[in-house]
């Protein structure tokens, strides 16, 4: 995983903004959801266009966070990107922001019936978890089922964000969650980017303006067990 150490400037600015060192002294398990973004073969495994090597190293952290979230009575949501709706929902982006060769490779790699779409080996969704299929960067964008409706229906008010890429789909989902008035925590050791520098810069900026940044261990320590929550 990335060796993340928050910058002193980001810590100082976040403390000045919130008036305290940490936003969350505790988390309510029943109203917390872990959102796992794009941990698919396409974004993780060698040979795929979206390959992010560090993503392979965060699987144990995600699994630990998922187990703790379930134990606290919270919800685990597995988010996967599909290219099936690209022509209808994201055509301009694919035509303008990608070369023809890259566009065709991405669309082929994320077809819902292909190997790239599948979740990475080592991740174990459980009965009671939810699945969300998205087209664009944000899991709050065009998605099925509608993530915001799913979360509100479960009484969720706090989101833990994990997955890849830290600075793209994870960050966009986390920022949209903030704007939709959820409390949002980016998990520093359960997100992956292409470089350590990009990962750190994304988390530092998120801490200042949008939410909290914590490790999986720090987050688990703030969650109750389900029996205590009930």
Confidence (pLDDT) at 227: 45
Three-state DSSP state, 40: strand
Q: pLDDT digit string (tens) for 32-76? A: 999 999 999 999 999 999 999 999 999 999 999 999 999 999 999
Instruction: For Cα atoms 118, 32, 201, give the angle at the middle one, nearest 5 degrees.
Output: 70
Q: What is the pLDDT of residues 2-23, one digit of tens each?
A: 999 999 999 999 999 999 988 9
Predicted model pTM: 0.95
pLDDT value at position 226? 61
Q: Which of 38, 13, 84, 29 is CA-nearest to residue 190?
A: 38
Residue 208 near residue 11 (C-beta atoms within 8 A): no
Q: Measured between alpha carbons, how far is residue 187 from residues 27, 67, 112, 143, 215 in Å?
A: 14, 15, 27, 23, 5
Catalytic residues: 38, 134, 169
pLDDT value of position 230: 41
pLDDT greater at residue 222 or residue 228:
222
Q: CATH says 8-229 is which class?
A: alpha beta
Query: In this model, does residue 102 exceed pLDDT 80?
Result: yes
């Amino acid at each position: 995983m990335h060796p993340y150490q928050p910058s002193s400037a980001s810590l100082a600015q976040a403390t000045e903004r919130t008036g305290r060192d940490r936003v969350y002294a505790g988390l309510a398990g029943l109203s917390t959801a872990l959102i796992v973004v794009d941990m698919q073969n396409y974004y993780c495994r060698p040979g795929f266009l979206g390959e992010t090597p560090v993503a392979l190293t965060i699987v144990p952290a995600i699994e630990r966070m998922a187990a703790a979230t379930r134990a606290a009575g919270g919800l685990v949501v597995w988010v996967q990107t599909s290219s099936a709706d690209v022509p209808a929902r994201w055509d301009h982006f694919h035509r303008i922001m990608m070369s023809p060769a890259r566009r065709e490779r991405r669309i082929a790699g994320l077809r819902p019936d292909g190997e790239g779409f599948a979740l990475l080996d080592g991740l174990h969704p459980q009965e009671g978890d939810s699945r969300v299929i998205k087209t664009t960067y944000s899991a709050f964008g065009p998605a099925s089922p509608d993530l915001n409706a799913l979360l509100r229906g479960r009484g969720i008010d706090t989101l833990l964000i994990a997955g890849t890429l830290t600075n793209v789909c994870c960050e966009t989902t986390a920022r949209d969650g903030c704007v939709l008035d959820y409390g949002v925590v980016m998990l520093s050791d359960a997100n992956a980017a292409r470089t350590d520098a990009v990962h750190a810069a994304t988390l530092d900026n998120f801490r200042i303006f949008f939410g909290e940044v914590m490790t999986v261990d720090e987050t688990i320590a703030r969650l109750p067990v389900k029996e205590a929550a009930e």
